Structure 1
């Protein structure tokens, strides 16, 4: 334990970055299989075009995609660059957590949080879907991480989870009653509950502020690219909540 505590942040960042590449490979696979209702853990990886099993030497994160030039070794079908991008993103989150968190234990917790949020955000960005099988563990891991610091912290995290869910559920309910249509997805309140479980009630306003800023930046980018922006455009709000949760967890609530 003393050895782990004494690890240099750069070493921790390197270890979590390398682990992130491996975890990212699983996340990329899960982000494809889960929305299709396929098993995530069981079954070999296969080409989505010809169903040929992927050889073990072609499962090396990032490198395999580069050496195959983004194509299946059997049928030559294109392999989406989303796979190496998610692997690199997971590695980047691991490095970020290792450098920013005060100590290896919190760095590991931050990396686990980041990897969970990455999978949730990747699916929401592509499918406008969030799954309870990912959101519920986010809440539980946040509460467990809080409990590791004491039951008083766990109680505050539970309060944050409760307030997070109630806040967005209430907003969604009122919006639907006033406008006659849904404005938030069913998963958004559960995701904010997960945010509260990780950052506590005091961090929720900052999460929402970062989420709003992230959403506005997307709108601004679309306007700069001269793309039409309408009031009824669908936006993956889960992605923005994930960004806010990550930033608040690592860097604290704004102003505190």
Structure 2
């Protein structure tokens, strides 16, 4: 095995480990359960899980997605998060040298956790979005090539644009239409990719959200003005492809 292959494999293994933690986070945190304290246990019967039950992906496959004690169904988000984080780890190692790859991993894992939380609970916690923004200020010059001034303007503009939309919608309709978590998330993305990337990210995420609505409508689901859309999920999905494309266009221009 070459050194490069070993690093790519290491990125995948690291992703599986972090994916297991993030799966517990997106399952427990919205319910007010501790993520860091206490032994892992079955969500149905409370049986304490042993080492054989905690091997990422393999344990899920071996148990056929069921608790060994009560037979209750294990939420597939566990394996999906593990596989998703592993894919992000491998992709980062393939796309960038090791110091930068670690930064891309952290960004990707953070966005994946936020995407799942918003899709399942319509929740983008400050405890994830704000550290993501601070990390962007710290490492973006080495990861995405964004200078501190660009990052500061990007964060302010990203937050300000969606904040203005949220306040405008509330004033016009008398109810909330866009959560401030979306504004904070876009501000964090502005810190990572600079203000120039924000139109690309907003356009890509809006198109994804529109495609989701159309697919739901074509599938027979009722769509009306009260339908909730987890826009933060689409921001997370679009962020890296659209942000990288925008930085590439700036560099080539």
Q: Structure 1 length as normaliser, TM-score?
A: 0.90
Q: Which residue of 1 aligns with 2:58?
A: 63
Alignment of 1:1-256 (within 5 A): 8=4, 11-101=6-96, 103-146=97-140, 153-253=147-247, 255-256=249-250
Unaligned runs of 5+ in 2: none
Q: C-alpha distance in 2, partners of 1:252/1:40? A: 36
Matched residue SS, 2:147? helix
Q: Give yes or no for contact 1:46–1:53 (8 Å, CA) kept in 2.
A: yes
> Does structure 2 retain, via aligned residues, the 8 Å contact 1:110–1:250?
no
Between stretches 148-157 and 25-34, larger displacement belongs to 148-157
**Structure 2 vs 1, CA of residues 151 and 65 (structure 1 numbering), >3 Å: closer, same or farther?**
closer
Q: CA 1:46 to 1:213, structure 2 compared with 1: closer, same or farther past 3 Å?
A: same
The separation in 1 between residues aligned to 2:78 and 2:43, in whole angstroms, is 13
Per-residue deviation, residues 62-121 of structure 1 (Å, max 9, x unmatched): 1001101111122221111111011111111222222233x2222221111000001111
Is the contact made by 2:208 and 2:234 (CA closer than 8 Å) also made in structure 1?
Answer: yes
RMSD: 2.2
Please say if residues 146 and 194 of structure 2, whose CA atoms lie closer than 8 Å, have aligned partners that are also in contact: no
Shift of 1:243: 1.3
What's the CA shift string for 1:151-200, capped at 9, x where partnerless? 98122212111111111101101111011111101211111111111111
Q: Compute the TM-score of the two structures, normalised by the length of structure 2.
A: 0.91
State the number of aligned residues. Answer: 249
> CA separation of 1:249/1:100 partners in 2, compared to 1, >3 Å: closer, same or farther?
farther
Cα deviations by residue, 1:213-234 (Å, 9 ceiling, x for unpaired)? 1101211221332322212210
